[in-house]
Amino acid sequence: MTTHSDSDVIPSGETLERMTENLQKVEELSERLQRVLTNRQTHNPALDGPNQELFGRAAQAYWAEAVNNPAKVFEHQMTYWADTMKQFVQAQQELAKGKLTAPEDPGPKDRRFANPLWETHPYFNYVKKQYLINAEALTTAVQDVTDLDPSEKNRLTYFARQIVDLMSPTNFLATNPDALEKALETEGQSLVQGLENLIHDLEANKGELVVKLADETAFELGRNIATTPGKVIFRNRMMELIQYTATTEEVHKTPLVIFPPWINKFYILDLKAQNSLVKWLVDQGHTVFVVSWVNPDPTYRDIGMENYIEDGYLTAIAEIKGITGEKQVNAIGYCIAGTTLALTLSLLKQKGDKSVKSATFFTALTDFSDQGEFAPFLTNDFIDGIEEEIEDKGVLPSVIMARTFSFLRSNDLIYGPAIKSYMMGETPPAFDLLYWNGDGANLPGKMSMQYLRGLCQRDELARGGFDLLGHKLTLGDVDVPLCAIACETDHIAAWKDSYRGIQQMGSKDKTFIMTQSGHIAGIVNPPTRNKYGHYTNPDLKLDYADWLAGADFHEGSWWPRWESWLKKRAGKMIPARKPGDSSHPVLCDAPGTYVAKKATL
């Protein structure tokens, strides 16, 4: 199918025989696939998309527009018809030449269409260009729907984009030259292996399709991932507390505790030695503690945010103070754990407890007034569906969370990997970050609804206060010295929203750093890579646009800049500490036992 001679393209009899054998294997695997789908564990259909009312209102708005402004609708139709007919005529002219020649205008570039055949082969070029015409027509039609509530318009736009991405010709075997070429080259073996990959992924998730992004056999916790030496020195029903082994003769007096998000596992901050923030901090002379959260099962149905604060944050801080003999700790909260750190700091302020000396927030949202790309998932019908799912299972299954996050970047996290695995028959890459991404955790039922209803939907923390543990917790109560790191292209916690929450906190000592890249790569950005730079601006009274306009850009990782800020609040140097003490015996080696539990129901 590339520029080969006819004899190279036409399969031999022996090749056809092997392809026939492989296609028979496909039939056998299809029966196995049918069994998986027949017995699959279902979820609430409300989690798959909006009900028909949204599309009904959209159609009604579109036709109302046609009546009130027919010229715009005619313009849409004429543009679509003209583009379609133009490219049809061009394709006919190419075919009339009696040979397959590349069109003069191959159309716009798109990384999904990297194979040269998309430009040089009339059939594939026609398919590509018609798809792009169709995609543009649908996108324009949705954009021009005016008589629709903004939240509904936002959701309609999101699902229209999902339809456009789904219908890409690269997602179908008959219109994917890469997959077809691979099938010929491997005599159909790639299709057999692809179907086996598909069935394996379905079986692993009880019939739910979650595309495996990394080779799970390539990593083992404690062996080649999450390897920084340390000990579990405390455990309760919510978390294991890890104290890492010092690598310097002296350490800063004030200990450092990291609260990672419990949506995924803590070792995002301890992947490999080369990109481990945990190891880097230990090497800078900090006594580092990390909370490793439990992976909840249905018995955690009634666990709420209050349990994470009391049995997680407050308990960890108390145990660290007891082990080190210090009166204060420096604390880090990442993502949802940063949101909860803000709640904890408000609670401590109201109690007159000064156990936290400084706070650092990694990509943390505390003001949810702008829901950004998550808006389609925060409408009542979707949250109602989650509530029903929780009522049935006791937890919000990790597979639901993984799928939701993946659809925000569907071409990168769903369709692209699915093409390689299911159509090309390739083994997922041995990539530590993607391995971590697939190692999800369930969320307790009560906690999920508190977070989604009270914080995300009603924005209570930034609008009057969030009621918890007998207190009304507010951002204004957060008055410790703080540093916030947000990420420029973060699609989960937009930097401008993180900035807005930090502005509302009561601290007089605030530092805000915006790093390049996204939610994970922007944080896991070691100095040795010298890959992403960062922005700083001390004036946090400005709105986010003016802050960025006046910010200074710095090459390289933000880690050293932040650590310079941290060590000023970390106290004098003292002899290095050993993990645990007489009242905190070593329970096991890091990374512990909780991190190894897979999310199953």
Give the model confidence (pLDDT) of 275-300 as tens digits: 999 999 999 999 999 999 999 999 99
Q: Which residues are catalytic?
A: 335
Q: Which two tokens stand for residue 359?
A: 């706070």
Residue 121 is predicted with a pLDDT of: 86
User: Mean pLDDT across the stretch 140-168?
Assistant: 81
Where helices occur in 354-410 by DSSP H, the ranges are 380-393, 398-407, 410
To the question of domain 230-372+445-596 being in CATH 3.40.50.1820, the answer is yes
Percentage of residues in the chain having pLDDT higher than 70 = 87
Residue 8 is predicted with a pLDDT of: 45
Residue 548 is predicted with a pLDDT of: 98
Phi-psi region of 572 (alpha: psi -120 to 50; beta: other; left: phi over 0): beta
Of the listed ranges 21-35, 47-61, 442-456, the least confidently predicted one is 47-61
User: Mean pLDDT across the stretch 224-231?
Assistant: 97
Q: Which two tokens stand for residue 415?
A: 């369709």
258 phi, psi to nearest 5 deg: -110, 125
- Which amino acid would we find at residue 181? E
Q: Is residue 378 a contact partner of residue 47, using CB atoms and an 8 Å limit?
A: no
Spatial CA neighbour of 263 closest among 498, 520, 457, 437: 437
Q: How confident is the model at residue 9 (pLDDT cuts 50, 70, 90)?
A: very low
Q: Which two tokens stand for residue 521?
A: 């790569």
Cα dist. 416→13, 111, 412, 510 in Å? Answer: 33, 11, 5, 41
CA–CA distance, 17 with 27 (Å, rounded to integer): 16
506-550: pLDDT as tens digits: 999 999 999 999 999 999 999 998 899 999 999 999 999 999 999
Q: Which two tokens stand for residue 534?
A: 């960062």
Residue 125 is predicted with a pLDDT of: 87
Q: How confident is the model at residue 331 (pLDDT cuts 50, 70, 90)?
A: very high
Q: Give me the residue label for tokens 């604390």.
A: 331
Q: How confident is the model at residue 587 (pLDDT cuts 50, 70, 90)?
A: very high
For CATH 3.40.50.1820, the residue range(s) in the chain are 230-372+445-596
User: Mean pLDDT across the stretch 450-478?
Assistant: 97
| pLDDT: which is higher, 175 or 17 | 175
Residue 400 is predicted with a pLDDT of: 86
299-327: pLDDT as tens digits: 999 999 999 999 999 999 999 999 999 99
Q: Which two tokens stand for residue 56?
A: 């009904």
Average pLDDT over the chain, rounded to an integer: 88
CA–CA distance, 228 with 214 (Å, rounded to integer): 22
**CA–centroid distance for 438 within its chain:** 10
- Which amino acid would we find at residue 337? A
**R_g of the chain computed on alpha carbons:** 27
pLDDT at 144 over 90: no
38-51: pLDDT as tens digits: 777 666 666 665 55
Residue 5 is predicted with a pLDDT of: 44
Where helices occur in 69-102 by DSSP H, the ranges are 70-96
Highest mean pLDDT among 80-84, 239-243, 597-601: 239-243
Residue 6 is predicted with a pLDDT of: 42
